[in-house]
Amino acid sequence: MTDLVHVLYIVAFALFIYGLMGLTGPRTAVRGNWIAAAGMVIAIIATLLTPGESNWWLIVLGVVLGAVVGVPAARQVKMTAMPQMVALFNGVGGGAVALIAWVEFRDSHAYANEPAYVAVTSLFAAIVGSISFWGSLVAYGKLQEILPGKPISLGKPLQQLVNLGLLVVSVVLAVIIGFGVDSELLIIGVLVFAAVLGLLVVLPIGGADMPVVISLLNAFTGLSAAATGLALDNTAMIVAGMIVGASGSILTNLMAKAMNRSIPAIVAGGFGGGGAAAAAGGEGAEDKTVRSTSASDAAIQMAYANQVVVVPGYGMAVAQAQHAVHEMGKLLEAKGVEVKYAIHPVAGRMPGHMNVLLAEADVPYDQLKEMDDINGEFSRTDVALVIGANDVTNPAARSNPGSPIHGMPILNVDQAKSIIVLKRSMNPGFAGIENELYYDAKTAMLFGDAKGSVQSITEELKAL
């Protein structure tokens, strides 16, 4: 490597870092992405300037092939299919690493004349690259619905045993190579066992957890790239790979936290299945499962909604959450969301109970909607946020002639596109009856004292 190449590499990774810094804020993200891309161009040019570079036609062939596949794929993919695209791109990156490691093994005759670290890093790259490649492919397949979205698993303990076994075998094979045994079968074995491991780890994971998994595989691919860089003594690869590895790990953690999942639980498999199925399936209140959600999730849903209708009830009064609710409402409005408050005539425990509280919190009069005015709007409401209301939202009043509240006019909360219910438990309200609404597939429960829950949502909104 010449000094020029070296300096260009430094420039390149400086651009990566600078671009990545930009990507962490919504305002600078677009520019940041292109700055990083510029870094990549410089890194590639620098590499091509390396003295002794040859095989130009093959390089052109590879690049053209890649561009022909990658560019249209990236351009035409639908917005909703983005996640699987990212999985795919990540996968091929891992695949490249695995292939390079394989070639290196062959060229160096099992690292015959190389220092130990080359063997170690290269074999690490082979294993991790292979896991990433195949794992990402499965993730892609699941999201693209080529593979079934539901978890496919051998059952938890067995599955984990098998996975561990696969990992051990491939590492052992790698160690054998490290001790100088030069057999192509060995490296192929390493790659294959890692591949099977990648498949089996991702298969049992449900669709809802996929983003976290993709991020994890992304971090892995980064680490394998860094390892390849160490093996090839290539600064740009070391830095870029490591940055991705480190930032990717943190990102994975953040994503998992935001979704209320733990990474070990996800990787152990099967956990996210329920949520995934419910979210995907769309009906299924028959077996009466309740979906619970997190404050951050509620915050995101509302922040990107066009219209949110807040349905306060006695629980808001008990929690004295009115000020918190209004603060949240204002924040949503500042984000361009239309916020309305649906006041049911008998919400609370006295006539006008909600009015007293919301007036105290200074909620503008125009946002308070009577039942008759708001009921028509629920069908075009993205999120109905039910805060400590129960009976006044119970669809049984409309649909179940046997119900003691049958005939009472209710707020048609169940017609909203999605429903978030804030209450402390599954206990009934004043009328002492169950509320079907909570078992609706569109409904997510956020359990806890209404004030606390609203405050958490508010904080999450601020962080968005």
Partner 1 sequence: MLCRVTSDTGVVVGVPRETAAGERRVALVPKVVERLRAKGLAVVVEEGAGLGALIPDREYEQVGATIGDPWAADVLVKVNPPTEEEVGRLREGATLIGFLAPLTSPETRDRLRGAKVTGFAMESVPRISRAQSMDALSSQANVAGYKAVLLAAEQSTRFFPMLTTAAGTVKPATVLVLGVGVAGLQALATAKRLGARTTGYDVRPEVSEQVRSLGAQWLDLGIEAAGEGGYARELTEEERAQQQQKLTEAISTFDVVITTALVPGRPAPKLVVAQAVEHMRPGSVVVDLAGETGGNCELTEPGEVVVKHDVTIASPLNLPATMPEHASELYSRNVQSLLELMLTEDGKVEPDFTDEVLAKSCVTRDRES
Partner 2 sequence: MFLANLAILVLAGFVGFAVISKVPNTLHTPLMSGTNAIHGIVLLGGLVVIGLTASGVLDKILLVIAIAFGTINVVGGFLVTDRMLGMFKNKDKKGADND
What amino acid positions are annotated as catalytic residues?
A: 391
Retrieve residue 141's tokens.
């397949």
Distance CA(324)–CA(457), nearest Å, equals 10
DSSP 8-class letter at 305: -
Distance CA(263)–CA(223), nearest Å, equals 18
Distance CA(187)–CA(99), nearest Å, equals 11
> Taking a C-beta distance cutoff of 8 angstroms, is the pair 39, 16 a contact?
yes
Name which position in 360, 380, 406, 464 contacts a copy of itself (CB under 8 A). 360
Name which position in 86, 125, 242, 326 contacts a copy of itself (CB under 8 A). 326
Distance CA(296)–CA(317), nearest Å, equals 23
The 3-state DSSP class for residue 313 equals coil
Name which position in 356, 367, 382, 415 contacts partner 1 (CB under 8 A). 356
Name which position in 160, 390, 403, 455 contacts ligand NAP (CB under 6 A). 390
Residue 391 near which of partner 1, partner 2, a copy of itself, none (CB within 5-8 Å, type-dependent): partner 1
Name which position in 178, 345, 448, 452 contacts partner 1 (CB under 8 A). 345
> Taking a C-beta distance cutoff of 8 angstroms, is the pair 12, 35 a contact?
no
Contact call for residue 351 and ligand NAP (CB under 6 A): yes
Contact call for residue 349 and partner 1 (CB under 8 A): yes
- What residue type is assigned to position 443 of the chain? T
Name which position in 97, 174, 259, 319 contacts ligand NAP (CB under 6 A). 319
Distance CA(129)–CA(383), nearest Å, equals 42
Shortest approach of partner 2 to residue 204 CB, angstroms? 21
Residue 368 near which of a copy of itself, partner 1, ligand NAP, none (CB within 5-8 Å, type-dependent): partner 1
Name which position in 39, 313, 329, 395 contacts ligand NAP (CB under 6 A). 313
Name which position in 406, 426, 428, 464 contacts partner 1 (CB under 8 A). 406
Residue 247 near which of partner 1, ligand NAP, partner 2, none (CB within 5-8 Å, type-dependent): partner 2
Spell out the residues 6+ positions from residue 422 whose beta carbon is closer than 8 angstroms to its own: 315, 385, 386, 387, 388, 446, 448, 450, 453, 454
Residue 449 near which of partner 1, ligand NAP, a copy of itself, none (CB within 5-8 Å, type-dependent): ligand NAP
Q: What are phi and psi for residue 407, nearest 5 degrees?
A: 100, -20
Which among 265, 256, 335 has a CA at the least distance from the CA of 301? 335
- What residue type is assigned to position 203 of the chain? L
Which strand ranges, in their side-by-side order, compose the sheet holding 368-370?
A: 368-370, 338-343, 307-312, 383-387, 418-423, 443-447
Contact call for residue 449 and ligand NAP (CB under 6 A): yes
For partner 1, which is the closer residue by CB, 17 or 356?
A: 356
Could you say which residues in the range 252-311 bind partner 1, by CB under 8 A?
none
Nearest residue to the partner ligand NAP, using Cβ: 429
Retrieve residue 167's tokens.
């990992």
> Taking a C-beta distance cutoff of 8 angstroms, is the pair 21, 243 a contact?
no
Tokens 């005759």, residue? 109
Distance CA(195)–CA(130), nearest Å, equals 5
**E strand or H helix that includes residue 338:** strand 338-343
Contact call for residue 396 and partner 1 (CB under 8 A): no
Residue 323 near which of a copy of itself, ligand NAP, partner 2, none (CB within 5-8 Å, type-dependent): a copy of itself
Retrieve residue 222's tokens.
């980064």
Shortest approach of partner 1 to residue 315 CB, angstroms? 9
Interface segment toward ligand NAP; rule CB under 6 A; list 32-40, 136-144, 242-250, 343-351: 343-351
For partner 2, which is the closer residue by CB, 42 or 411?
A: 42
> Taking a C-beta distance cutoff of 8 angstroms, is the pair 374, 385 a contact?
no
Shortest approach of a copy of itself to residue 323 CB, angstroms? 6
For partner 2, which is the closer residue by CB, 48 or 158?
A: 48
The 3-state DSSP class for residue 344 equals coil
| Binding positions for a copy of itself, rule: CB under 8 A | 323, 326-327, 360-362, 459, 462
Residues at the site binding partner 1, with contacts judged by CB under 8 A = 314, 317-318, 320, 343-356, 359-360, 362, 365, 368, 370-371, 391, 397, 404-409, 430-431
* Positions that interact with ligand NAP (CB under 6 A): 313-315, 318-319, 346-351, 353, 388-392, 422-425, 427, 429-431, 449-450
